[in-house]
């Protein structure tokens, strides 16, 4: 059903977005909650605000003919990436408001916990993932899907169009690579 609404949106049906949001809202809110780790002090964005900002980006991209989503899982992976980008932009904006550097950090501890690493902030994590993407674009995509999207190995494999064993190998590589990067950074 989600795929049908996505196709309608891509074909210019403005009402399809209004019908799609209630179908995916709970899942988008769960992703936002994971990203923000609800109840943790220091966040200035709330899950609802994060979902709405990301939704505006997604709906605009889809209505403009972008997206080309394969289905629900692919859409949620892209939504998780959009939320991460909103968080990065928010963190950069907050840091820019602080003169002389040392701006407030938006922690993403849970992401790094899942990678068995030290804590970091949104901007540093984004920069680290950009370096990983230079090493292995697919491994970086796997990290985004698993950490930010909360996807299983099988769901990530479906979106990427590869075998689950390939995703497992990329996941092992990415965790080791990120661990090394974070240790070098410390």
d(CA 148, CA 76) in angstroms, rounded, equals: 10
Please say if the pLDDT value at position 123 is more than 80. Answer: no
Please say if the pLDDT value at position 164 is more than 60. Answer: yes
**Nearest 5 degrees, angle CA 47-CA 147-CA 159?**
105
User: Within 13 Å and on the Cβ side, how many CA atoms surround 2?
Assistant: 15
pTM of the model: 0.59
Positive or negative: CA dihedral 78, 44, 42, 132: positive
State the DSSP string of 107-173. B-HHHHHHTT----BHHHHHHHHHHHHHH-HHHHHHHIIIIIS---HHHHHHHHTS-HHHHHHHHHH
d(CA 103, CA 70) in angstroms, rounded, equals: 39
Read off the pLDDT of residues 16-48 as tens digits, 9 standing for 90 and up. 888 888 888 888 888 888 777 644 445 567 888
Ordered structural domains, the chain, with CATH: 2-97 (1.10.1740.10), 109-185 (1.10.10.10)
């Amino acid at each position: 059903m989600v795929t049908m609404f996505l196709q309608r949106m891509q074909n210019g049906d403005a009402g399809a977005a209004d019908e799609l949001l209630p179908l995916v809202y709970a899942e988008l809110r769960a992703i936002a909650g994971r990203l923000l780790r609800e109840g943790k002090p220091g966040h200035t964005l709330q899950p609802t605000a994060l979902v709405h900002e990301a939704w505006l980006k997604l709906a605009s991209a889809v209505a403009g003919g972008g997206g080309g989503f394969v289905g629900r899982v692919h859409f949620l992976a892209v939504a998780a990436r959009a939320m991460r980008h909103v968080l990065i932009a928010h963190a950069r904006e907050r840091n820019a408001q602080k003169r002389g550097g040392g701006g407030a950090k938006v922690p993403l501890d849970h992401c790094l916990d899942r990678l068995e690493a030290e804590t970091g902030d949104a901007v540093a994590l984004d920069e680290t993932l950009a370096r990983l993407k230079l090493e292995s674009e697919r491994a970086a995509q796997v990290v985004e899907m698993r950490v930010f999207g909360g996807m299983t190995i099988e769901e990530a494999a479906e979106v990427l169009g590869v075998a689950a064993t390939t995703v497992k190998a990329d996941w092992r590589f990415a965790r080791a690579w990120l661990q090394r990067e974070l240790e070098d950074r410390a």
